[in-house]
Amino acid sequence: MNLNATASRKLSSDSFLIRPIEKDDLLELTALDHGSRENPWTKEMFQKELELPFSIHAAVKDEKELIAFGVVWQVKEIAQLIQITVIPDRRGAGIGTFLVKHLMKICSQKGCKIMELEFEQGNIAAKKLYKKLGFKTVGFRKKFYGNQDAILMQCAL
């Protein structure tokens, strides 16, 4: 991705609406996820997610469409970041940062003390995003994603 090309499209948080995922988002969200990563969730998976009492989620919308979503599971004082996805042609513009910061704030307000997550070692964008937000590496899972190791990170909230 050419980050310079997207820099001119950097947006302020005033440009987005961020709110919990709603039932009416499911079709659009499924399409977003299918166009964004290798193992996308189905509509049924999103639907089940909305019914989980411990799921904390957010969708980011611009004036036209959904552009990102994130899901966290609250396990007592631990917030486990399950997934965060930004639509490919909007990456590198600060939306991932905005979304994770928002989820960290919501989780802290709900009593979580730590956020933890894992991602594929070769995922440079994810590594940069989480390091920038203060996450520290706390472990690895060998060959967790096929041949790739998983990096485990944590951050105090």
Ligand X SMILES: CC(C)(COP(=O)(O)OP(=O)(O)OC[C@H]1O[C@@H](n2cnc3c(N)ncnc32)[C@H](O)[C@@H]1OP(=O)(O)O)[C@@H](O)C(=O)NCCC(=O)NCCS
> Footprint of ligand X on this chain (CB under 6 A)?
1, 3, 36-37, 83-86, 91-97, 119, 123-126, 128-129, 132
Closest CA to 21 of 54, 44, 53, 55: 55
CA atoms of 125 and 117, how far apart (whole Å): 14
Q: What number of other Cβ atoms are within 10 A of residue 116's Cβ?
A: 18
- Shortest reach from residue 95's CB to ligand X, in Å: 4
Residue nearest to ligand X (CB): 96
- Shortest reach from residue 92's CB to ligand X, in Å: 5
> Which CB atom, from 123 or from 154, has the smaller least distance to ligand X?
123
Q: What are the backbone dihedrals phi and psi of residue 96, each rounded to the nearest 5 degrees, phi first?
A: -60, -45
> Which CB atom, from 15 or from 123, has the smaller least distance to ligand X?
123
Q: What is the largest CA-CA distance in the chain?
A: 42
> Which CB atom, from 101 or from 110, has the smaller least distance to ligand X?
101
- Shortest reach from residue 88's CB to ligand X, in Å: 8
Q: What number of other Cβ atoms are within 10 A of residue 27's Cβ?
A: 10
